[in-house]
Amino acid sequence: MNIYKFTLKEDYVTYYKRLKGVNFSCEWGSIVDGTITIKTNYSWDGITLAFDSMETYYASLVHDFLYQFKPVKKYVSDLIFYTQLNIDSFAFAFLYYLAVTVLGCPFYYWIPTTYGIKRFFRKIFK
């Protein structure tokens, strides 16, 4: 049984000014000075507690990637989500942005990811 709604069929590459100066790499993607690359076969669950549409596809992809691996602070991830929703002309962009700003806290701060756990233990045992 697959718990994910979507799986990326080819690498997704785009640029965000808010990621300029960020350099990050993991098995599922990278960020190099503003350019984010999410690799083929990355899976995510789309918009949590709301409806998915073609206008939310890339915003949810990038947002889930940023929440999962945490290369930037939560507010940056949320602003990029809002930016992408506007790029894709989503009518409820501001409403969805408010929702992730308030309701996204548990998903960003309190739910550990495999990558986050590994990074935590690496810091402890250095």
CA atoms within 13 A on the CB side of 90: 24
What's the pLDDT at 3? 77
19: left (phi over 0), alpha (psi -120 to 50) or beta: alpha
**What pTM does this model have?**
0.82
How far is the C-alpha of 87 from the C-alpha of 72, rounded, in Å?
A: 21
Q: For 36-61, how does the pLDDT look when each residue is reduced to its tens digit (9 = 90+)?
A: 999 999 999 898 778 888 999 999 99
**Banded pLDDT at 124 (limits 50, 70, 90):** low
Q: For 63-93, how does the pLDDT look when each residue is reduced to its tens digit (9 = 90+)?
A: 999 999 999 999 999 999 999 999 999 999 9
pLDDT at 112 over 70: no
Query: Which DSSP state fits 124?
Result: H
Please tell me the total number of residues recorded for the chain in this structure.
126
What's the pLDDT at 31? 98
What is the DSSP track for 8-75?
A: -SS-EEEE-GGGTT-EEEETTEEEETTEEEE-TT-EE--STTS---TTTHHHHHHHHHHHHH-SS-HH
How far is the C-alpha of 126 from the C-alpha of 116, rounded, in Å?
A: 15
Q: Give 49 or 32, the one with higher predicted confidence.
A: 32
